[in-house]
Amino acid sequence: MPCVNPDGTLSPSGQEMLKAVAAGQSATATEVVTTTRLPLFRVRAGLRELTKAGLLEYDDSDERFSPTTWGLERVESES
């Protein structure tokens, strides 16, 4: 199941993951799993998809995802 639908809207799991990262300003995949209770394989794929869509940024040095300005705007608009 995709996190970003073809029309650009977020799926419920995509919304959950984006909110989980935005709530703490950054998060690892494991932290998102703890918050959302989604399976790790789904979270990893979803975080990659949200990053590719420009909603998250990934930092290789500490393996953390953080929301972009657009990602934060989406969290606000979808709340």
Q: Compute CA distances 16 → 13, 19, 36, 60, 62, whole Å.
A: 5, 5, 6, 22, 22
Q: pLDDT tens digits for 25-79?
A: 999 999 999 999 999 999 999 999 999 999 999 999 999 999 999 999 988 887 6
Statement: residue 4 has pLDDT above 90 = no
| Residue 2: per-residue pLDDT | 82
Q: Which residues contact 49 (CB under 8 A, 6 or more apart)?
A: 2, 3, 4, 14
Q: Is the pTM of this model over 0.75?
A: yes
Domains within the chain, CATH numbers bracketed: 12-77 (1.10.10.10)
C-beta of residue 36 within 8 angstroms of C-beta of residue 50: no
